[in-house]
Amino acid sequence: MQQRLVDRHPEVPADQLIAQMVPPPTFDEVSFASYIPDPAEPSQAAAVAKAEQFAAKVNALHKAAGKKSLFGKKKPVSGAGIYLDGGFGVGKTHLLASTFHAAPEPKSFGTFGELTNLVGALGFVNAVERLSANSVLCIDEFELDDPGDTTLVSRLLTELAARGVSIAATSNTLPQQLGEGRFAAQDFLREIKKLGALFETVRVDGPDYRHRDLPPAPDPTAPEVLAERAAATPGSTLDDFSELLDHLSTLHPSRYGALIHGVSAVFLSDVRPATDQAVALRVVVLADRLYDAGIPVTVSGAKLDQIFSAEMLEGGYRKKYLRAISRLLALSRFEVKHAATA
């Protein structure tokens, strides 16, 4: 019988949230040495050097934090910060994961959304206590979606840095510009500036590697063919797109990773553009989890580059939606090639 994501109702205990804060499988084996800078983009080689220097500093600070003074107390050491800023698919996450791998235990890696979900699940004080022993906290795709997140993350990172935790982050928005177009950022300028002050900003330029020398979005699969391919793919799921969106609304985003755990491929029928912002943002989170897990995606209905309406793409979350499209296209191309070689 064909599996469906809508039939899954995963539970993720709060005490597992910290333990699962590691780089996605795609970045299990990456290192600074395995990052290949584009010769036409000198900022990439410079970013590798900066990230390596930062990782060395993390190790030195963590070692210093463990030393005691003459009076038997640990020396107060503030954490360092690095902020990798650039467009989609230029290797920022590769460098962030490399930084994580080069840092001493304990350490944590997660997306911005996963971090805010963690704080929501554990509570602010508990989250600070659990993360304060870290040598580094790596935050991928740093975003500020609302005023509450701005204040929350500012407090969290300021407290962690004061306790000696170094912070590494990636984004496609400079720290001073976080929140622009989404809410009255000027009302929270003090918090945003405080966040920016934690980091040394390092620019990473270049074209999206996921789109280099690749064709445009593949044409959607015919509905009957989609069902046949899903039935012929062990471990796959087949869902009606609208039904899946309804199901996602019943799950906390922190469960989306568990929702797709163990799935070999995702097939979606009757895909249509998301026109509601709340729905579109859930699609973004699901796309991130699918991309992290490297799960191929095949659809019928609209093309994946049309999964968000024109109105959504013109709004304040434009960069987020474009990132999701970039990742879904990469997954759809993987599925096409996989099927062609099967």
Cα–chain center distance at 280? 16
How does residue 92 score in pLDDT terms, banded at 50, 70 and 90?
A: very high
Phi, psi of 116 (to 5 degrees): -65, -35
Retrieve residue 79's tokens: 């954490």
How long is the chain? 342
pTM metric for this prediction: 0.72
Distance CA 170, CA 68 (A): 33
Each residue of 188-214: pLDDT tens digit?
456 656 777 788 889 898 876 655 555
Phi, psi of 190 (to 5 degrees): -60, -45
Assigned CATH class of 31-207: alpha beta
pLDDT score of 109: 97
| Higher per-residue confidence, 180 vs 61 | 61
Residue 215 has pLDDT above 80, yes or no: no
Q: How far is CA 35 from CA 51, 73, 89, 98, in A?
A: 11, 40, 12, 9
Retrieve residue 136's tokens: 């580094």
Distance CA 44, CA 205 (A): 7
Scanning 209-317, the segments in alpha helix (DSSP H) are 223-231, 241-248, 256-259, 277-293, 310-313
